[in-house]
Amino acid sequence: MTKTAHSFLDKGYQVIPLSRKTNTPVTKFKDIQITHELIDTINWTNCDYALLMRGIWCIDIDTHNLTDELAQQIKSMIKIFGSDLLSVLKVNGDLDGYSSILNNEFKSELLDNFKNTYMELTASGGMHILFRKQEGIDYSQKIGVLDGMDIKANENNYVKIFPSVGREVLQSVSELSVYHGEFEKELFKPRQTRQTVTTQYFSDYLPSAKGNHAGKEAFERIATGSSSNRNDDLFKAACWAFENNQDVSELYSIVGTIKGRDVFTPEEFERTVESARRKVNFVTY
């Protein structure tokens, strides 16, 4: 397993080990460069590989809202027809993340780019599509940017990658492609200042005009590792981050923290951040 990690690094990609039991990293990695020397100090036994988004970014298509049967049907068809299936697949009802591709105004552009880069299938029938980063674009994580679609692009974001359990290569390439077109530009365009209306119900979670707000304090607790009520702090901090154009990936340090026997997982992080995003969007126009 160490040999595989070295092989990734030789090609310019940094990977870290994910415990197959908890699906969480087994080593610290935030803002740490993964080197050959570091790889040799890590116990990779019973671990999968997490690819860090350093120099690359990922479109992460999910099928969480589909029945297992439908998700596996889509997976089986994609394994047979490859990404070409997305060019002919018709949307009859909700196909979760796939609907966000098929109904997108940039559908043709997206599918053209998919043909030129690495793609893999996940165990649940979802998909990872990877691209190289380009100069002049401010990349950041976008949780729930569209229904069933996340963007992993912060330096400390990661995706579980083949040859991990539950990952299958759909399309391999000798070198990742950059994205060509408008979707990437629109996706990472700096957010414009938006006018917000806040109800009393959200007053504890959204920032005041002076910016002195419980969410900012929660953000600082997570950033400094002093949070004791992790889910509550993460929700408040994420709300504050969304309203103040802060990068929520800075909160990712909470993943892997342990309270008693409870390890805070990436799935918990994504669910809580998505909930905060929806709450903030509900009171924003």
Instruction: Identify the pLDDT of residue 197.
Output: 34
Instruction: Identify the pLDDT of residue 243.
Output: 79
Cα(31)–Cα(135) distance, integer angstroms: 20
- What b/e sequence results for 231-262 when a residue is b if at least 16 CB atoms lie within 10 Å of its CB, and e otherwise? eebbbbbbbbbbbeebebbbbbbbbbeeeeee
Cα-atom radius of gyration of the chain, to the nearest Å? 19
Instruction: Identify the pLDDT of residue 195.
Output: 37
Model pTM greater than 0.75? no
pLDDT along the chain (285 residues), means of 10: 93 94 84 94 94 96 87 89 81 79 92 95 93 94 84 91 95 96 92 40 41 74 82 88 74 81 82 82 47
Cα(189)–Cα(179) distance, integer angstroms: 15
| Domains of the chain (ranges, CATH numbers) | 2-52 (no CATH), 56-187 (3.30.2250), 200-282 (no CATH)
